[in-house]
Structures are given as C-alpha cells and as structure tokens.
Amino acid sequence: MVKAAYFKLCPSYAQLISRHLDNNSSELPGSFEGHNPMIRCISHAPNERPDKVVGTITMQPNHSMSWKALGYFLMFMMTISFSIALAFTAMGYWVVLPFTALEMAVLSYCLWLCLRRSSLQEVLSLSPETITLEVGVKRPQQTYQWQRFFTKIQVQPAFHPWYRKKVSLVHKGTELEIGRFLNNDEQTELLDSLRQLIREADAAQVTTPEPANHHAE
C-alpha cells in the first residue's frame, strides 16, 4: 500500500520564532527562477504588494507551438488541400470539395483545442495567512483561496515508474490537484519552489509588525 506524504503550509508559532532567530530575517527574499520554462517562481519583498503575497508560482503545460505558427500551418495545409480538391472538382469530382472543407474544419478545431489547453495556467500565490490558486486561460476562470493554517500539501507517490506522482492541496477534506500536466522532474521542482515560498511566508509572518492601537485621551 502506497501512502501519501504531507507537509504543512503553516508551522506552529514556536517553529516560526526559531526559524526567525536562526535565519536572520534582516535578509530580504529576492526573485528565484527555476530552470524549467513550465514553472516560473517569483518572490516579493515584505509589504511589496498590498495583499501581502510573498511569492507566486506560475505553472503551464509544454507550449510547443505558438498561435502564429498554428496560423501558418493551417494556411499551408488549406492551400495544399483545396488546390487538390479544386483540381478534382474541375475534372468533375465535385464531391471532394465539401469533404476537404469538412476535413480542414475538423483539423482546425482539434489544433485550436490542443493549443488552448496548452495555454492553461495555474498561478499559486502564498501570503503569511492564505494560499490562493488561480486557474484559467489568459485570465483567472477559477479561484480558490484557503487559510494556510488549515491547508496541507499532499504528495502521493507514483504507482509505477511510468506514471507521475500526484501533488494536491488539501483543505478540510477538500483535495485539489495542482500541476497535473507536469512530469516527475517538474513536480520535484514545484515542491522545492513551494518549500522556498513557505519559508519566506514564515519569515514574513514573524517580521510583520502589528498595527499600533492609538487611544484618544
């Protein structure tokens, strides 16, 4: 039986104080970039953003073809296919033309669908109090925001070397898989980036000053 591994997004306050003293919190976090273009990680200095986000991780599938390249490819295929179809139509085989148009329509839709799916992005943002996941193409279409204290990262090992492991956010019984389009090496890089952001969020949670209470005399 394969057991899933967990690690917390929010440690106890005693652990925060210990890390704060050991790591010398005067050092500000900077930007860190992975070697994989499918994963982009950026950290922010304390109070750089009004929502107190200390870092973001952007994940996307392998984007092997651009929209411009897709347009050129379809123009080439249509030119060849319709030239042949028109030649057969001139010889009296007019039935070839509508089938060619249908074939090009199906091909265009399938390529558009594949490219749109490869344009999907998952943006994971971490603050001292919350974790936010935004999923969509060009803009957020689904947004999930949970408290760090009640959220864990679940890592379920692969059942076979040919398969990949499963990385999920778990919040009060709700499980949400992230980076399902990443391979094993990319998932390892994702987990390393998550641990880096968690350390920075922990440091920001300790160093964030509490607002002073001013009482009118």
pLDDT in tens, 135-159: 988 788 889 999 888 888 888 887 8
Task: Name the pLDDT band for 107 (thresholds 50, 70, 90).
Answer: very high
139 and 176 together in one domain: yes
Examine the pLDDT at 28 and tell me if it is beyond 70: no
Quote the CA–CA distance of 204 and 89 in Å, as a whole number: 71
Q: Residues near 122 by Cβ (< 8 Å), separated by ≥ 6? A: 58, 59, 60, 133, 134, 135, 178, 179
Mean pLDDT for the chain overall: 77
72 and 41 together in one domain: no
Q: Are 15 and 7 in contact (CB under 8 A)?
A: no
| Nearest CA-CA partner of 190 in 122, 138, 118, 117 | 122
Q: Residues near 147 by Cβ (< 8 Å), separated by ≥ 6? A: 10, 129, 130, 131, 171
* 213 part of a folded domain: no
141 and 197 together in one domain: yes
| Nearest CA-CA partner of 56 in 166, 154, 140 | 140
40 and 125 together in one domain: yes
Which domain, by its residues, includes 91?
67-117
- Through-space distance between the first and last CA atoms of the chain, rounded to whole angstroms: 66
Cα torsion at 13, 19, 21, 23 (round to 10°)? -150
Q: Tell me which of 117, 134, 154 is where a domain ends.
A: 117
Q: Are 28 and 46 in contact (CB under 8 A)?
A: yes
At residue 84, the pLDDT reads: 93
Helix or strand (DSSP H, E) at 5: strand 5-8
pTM equals: 0.64
Examine the pLDDT at 27 and tell me if it is beyond 70: no
* 217 part of a folded domain: no
